Chain A
């Protein structure tokens, strides 16, 4: 179980082939107390060991080798996405549409207003933090789910499927009293108080588990 995130520990990764811009952005972020890691290329970024901290990416759309848009798609496929802020020399509409559709937080054109960039960074970090919280909760719930016996899992899926104890007992060939005991165990092990809560968790958990 990971510890909760701390505001000071957010990192912003900057990928830009222009050393002047890398240094300028690193300086700007330092002035607002943010830690920046700068990379000259996507390859360099992918090759670096990244600390597991909340943060975001600032990407130039036009990068040597693989473009920023390609990296965005690759990170999305690897399910390792971080919120991305795109910076482009020229904002052409199809490019910005593609970026926003793929989940970019913001698409800014050079030269960038510092406040626009810092706002976007705050938003991106907040988004990343929320996503990480969500992931952590989900991981905890997943761990809870792992403690259930196979019979309890079957009962849980039937409950969230909207079946009554009587129906479940008939389907599984058990007494209604036994089903009630299983049901009590499920609610205790999954740390929920109401059926509604259990349904909500199951909704998130099941697709996540299927993916894994």
Chain B
């Protein structure tokens, strides 16, 4: 029995009590009719009314039906009949009837409440299932969203790699222009000289030939430089080949020689002979070397006093790796931020975007190598990376 707030619940409660009164009355009428016309005292109809009321209306209407039934039983079936006064002999019979009615009513009410809680549980379950379905749909949408975002991130990273390379190239543009212009100047001057020897009377063919040969040599040198630049600026997808790390290092250093001279940096190289060829994308590895070299030059030009020495070395390292080290005598790493230098968007340069070292590390790791930094003695820093030699197990899946 619940007194709920809603009008519908109130109505239902009142209806349940009315049904209790009605069904007891109906059972009584049925009993009386049978009593008069056929058999004697079929009181079980009253018990049926109690059970029905308790089942239909719950404990409250059931109790009402029990009370009414007991009163009706006393009035019509226990002596003295047609009176509510009780004969002492009849009390056990009345008591037994009352107990049976109470037992039947309570049992019905309990069954009703069990059925109700079962229904509630079933409704709850249905609600939970619906909820689950909703969150599942949301999860699926979210997942698709995440896959799209990851795709976008990958694209952005590829773009950034290209931008970072172009930025590095841009920083070097003046130096590269100088490198290309030098042989061009020699080409033009030698060709002019050749014409001058030919224009003499008589023409000096020996001198003219020498000038023409110098022209050819300078032309080849210009094309060598352009080939190196093209290898660096190439497309961004990795293309794995076997190559000698020392030649990759030398090409990059040739490109930066103008930059080194302009900034008064002394270059020391110690490239071990007899290194095994490595497997990887030559352009990407060169980009790493270029980035580290440009960083080293910048670190040294920030401080105008110390001697500026850039030391680039290569050697075999353990576990079939080739190690390349770029050491400078610059400002060195700040120990408080040293851990973050390889993170994306970490920069100490006023106009840096902080992608250089992050991209270097991702390139080296995609090759199955490692890139790390340590302090140089007495000052400056050393950046070292490893690349597995061709055919070793450490090599990653080349399709990456």
What residues of chain A have their CB less than 8 Å away from a CB belonging to chain B?
A: 17-18, 20-21, 23-25, 27-28, 30-32, 62-65, 87, 89-90, 110-114
Chain B residue with minimal CB distance to A62? B262
Q: Which of A18, A30, A62, A63 contacts B186 (CB 8 A)?
A: A18
B258 touches A62 (CB 8 A): yes
B177 touches A114 (CB 8 A): no
Tell me how far the C-beta of B126 lies from the nearest C-beta in chain A, rounded to whole angstroms: 79
**Chain B positions 193-215 with a Cβ under 8 Å from a chain A Cβ:** 193, 196-197, 207, 210-211, 214
B189 touches A25 (CB 8 A): yes
A62 CA / B258 CA spacing, docked (Å): 9
Q: Is the interface of B mostly helix, strand, loop or mixed?
A: helix
Could you say which residues of chain A place their CB within 8 Å of the CB of B365?
none
Q: Which of B177, B214, B258 contacts A23 (CB 8 A)?
A: B214
- B183 sits at the interface (CB 8 A): yes
A27 CA / B187 CA spacing, docked (Å): 12
A20 touches B221 (CB 8 A): yes
Could you say which residues of chain B place their CB within 8 Å of the CB of A113?
192
Q: Which of B174, B177, B186, B264 contacts A24 (CB 8 A)?
A: B186
B178 touches A62 (CB 8 A): yes
A87 CA / B181 CA spacing, docked (Å): 12
Tell me how far the C-beta of A31 lies from the nearest C-beta in chain B, rounded to whole angstroms: 4
Interface size on B, residues (CB 8 A): 28
A110 CA / B182 CA spacing, docked (Å): 8
Chain B residue with minimal CB distance to A18? B182
Chain B residue with minimal CB distance to A67? B262
Chain A residue with minimal CB distance to B211? A27
Cross-chain pairs A/B with CB under 8 angstroms, 25 sampled: A20-B182, A21-B182, A21-B186, A24-B218, A25-B189, A27-B207, A27-B210, A28-B189, A28-B196, A31-B196, A31-B197, A32-B196, A62-B178, A62-B262, A64-B261, A89-B178, A89-B181, A90-B174, A110-B185, A111-B185, A111-B187, A112-B185, A112-B188, A114-B188, A114-B192
A18 CA / B221 CA spacing, docked (Å): 12
A87 CA / B187 CA spacing, docked (Å): 15
A143 CA / B147 CA spacing, docked (Å): 94
**Chain B positions 243-272 with a Cβ under 8 Å from a chain A Cβ:** 258, 261-262, 264
Identify 4 new A-B residue pairs, CB closer than 8 A, beyond the known A20-B217, A27-B207, A89-B182.
A20-B214, A24-B185, A24-B193, A27-B211
Chain B residue with minimal CB distance to A66? B264
A114 CA / B185 CA spacing, docked (Å): 10
- B333 sits at the interface (CB 8 A): no
Tell me how far the C-beta of B173 lies from the nearest C-beta in chain A, rounded to whole angstroms: 10
- B184 sits at the interface (CB 8 A): yes
A210 CA / B369 CA spacing, docked (Å): 71
Chain B residue with minimal CB distance to A41? B261
Chain B residue with minimal CB distance to A108? B185
Could you say which residues of chain A place their CB within 8 Å of the CB of B217?
20
B192 touches A90 (CB 8 A): no
Could you say which residues of chain A place their CB within 8 Å of the CB of B189?
21, 24-25, 27-28, 111-112, 114
